[in-house]
Structure 1
């Protein structure tokens, strides 16, 4: 399945290509019925198109698509952002790993590839949580690697455990949705596996900025609101491990410094970050509403 939000021609082309290889569900968060009609007319006839006519957030969109696949009897679901490049090798490779684990009776919730963003640092490592810093695991070898979370795009969900883990958290709307679901899955005894021999091209965020000698992924000020708000929300939850919490407590002030010193219109980014901190503390969740 693919989640749309104001897709361009390339996004539609990628969804149409995906439909040639497997059952494709597109959940569209683009606002407006006219936009939905225009987008739907450009999609392959085999695609199941589910327009929301408004931006309900990535979590809700994923839940809608996954419930559609469960209702149709599918046992696994591949999840993609609209800007991720899927290949037949990626789809079949991850499906084989997931189905083999399921056949062995292993409690695997999610498998996913290594992803590459050439704008940042090339092939990104897999991640395990550690106290005050992430443990980065080089994607190498021919054996799946136990990790603590995977990005949503390119991941393959074992739908047999969907009810046991529960859906994506709608209240988060966007940012840390994948992290929270993986943490919840692991807290309930399920495994999350990185597949080092399968790769995917994926651009993380907007154009990165250079700060402290390295490239950092960049987002809009509104996205930074959600990032800070949801980080605080997860810091308050008991099932979230202190390994993740300790690392995030270190990273939050560093992000503020980067926004203030290295981001165009840094004052707006800092303002939205502090607004997110406050809303996270008082429990104001869901979409950000204009006053």
Structure 2
């Protein structure tokens, strides 16, 4: 894309042969790919030795997904500029993904773009949310037909100008995992950055082990996350409210509705309910008392 450089950051944790194949495909389409490994030791990475546009950094899960992403972003910020895709190791790129999204961000003169997401487990398209100070608008991803702005986009598959991080800052490492991307998106909105969805590009993704279920005519998509992830999600949601609830009162209502939805999903459809409900309530407590960072509580997974 002309003189523009397009980089990538992928976070790995105990990657498999299949993950390494995904990584090779990513690297083949990018100027440079930074792998940040959150495992205790770098294992299997020798299969990438022949690729000269890959660098590997070891994070050993310090400050979770947020710490890993920041390690890669800081490394890139030392370069002159350009754009960066953020991925996780399960990201499987459709044909032409990097080229299409790269062209889309340049043609539209944007600083951040995202694809449409398709959840391979629930076999449903992801939806998007436009948040203003007092209102919430939901956008159905399945029926999206023209470029549309959203307030939130998941990390994997999203493309950013490096200028965004220079002005907005890095990921909040006190979140560790869950809502790391949501909090960053709110900060972007606070700094007047927008996220534009490209409806022509569909990105296959999986969030937990989602299933599409129905109860009394209401559709649920339980994630089947383990209790620790349930803890982080509700605790960090409260952190978000503490940080941004005054600027965006609608965020309080949005997160309340999502937590009720997740609570009902656990109660109605998921296994290990007792431990997950315990994690949810302890997450609420630790969110209120601002107990940040890596979870120190033990749950039966």
Give TM-score, length-normalised by structure 1. 0.88
Deviations 1:57-91 (A, max 9, x none): 11111111112222233410011111111245111
Alignment partner, residue 63 of structure 1: 70
In structure 2, distance between residues paired with 1:209 and 1:268: 22
Name whichever of 209-218 and 179-188 sits farther off: 209-218
Alignment partner, residue 28 of structure 2: 20
Matches within 5 A, 1:173-188: 173-188=176-191
Contact 2:12–2:36 (Cα < 8 Å) also in 1: yes
In structure 1, distance between residues paired with 2:269 and 2:144: 34
SS of 2:211's partner is: strand
Contact 2:129–2:136 (Cα < 8 Å) also in 1: no
Instruction: Work out which of the residue numbers 127, 133, 141 in structure 1 matches 2:129.
Output: 127
CA displacement at 1:134 relative to structure 2? 5.0
In structure 2, distance between residues paired with 1:134 and 1:218: 26
Cα RMSD after superposing both structures = 2.2
Matches within 5 A, 1:154-169: 154-169=157-172
Name whichever of 129-138 and 108-117 sits farther off: 129-138
| C-alpha spacing 1:88/1:51, structure 2 compared with 1 (3 Å) | farther
Question: Aligned pairs, how many?
Answer: 281
Deviations 1:239-275 (A, max 9, x none): 6522222121123233223323322110000111111
Alignment partner, residue 266 of structure 2: 259
Alignment partner, residue 3 of structure 2: none
| C-alpha spacing 1:4/1:53, structure 2 compared with 1 (3 Å) | same
Instruction: Work out which of the residue numbers 204, 209, 230 in structure 1 matches 2:236.
Output: 230
CA displacement at 1:207 relative to structure 2? 4.5
| C-alpha spacing 1:209/1:124, structure 2 compared with 1 (3 Å) | closer
Give TM-score, length-normalised by structure 2. 0.86
Contact 1:211–1:258 (Cα < 8 Å) also in 2: no
Alignment partner, residue 226 of structure 2: 220
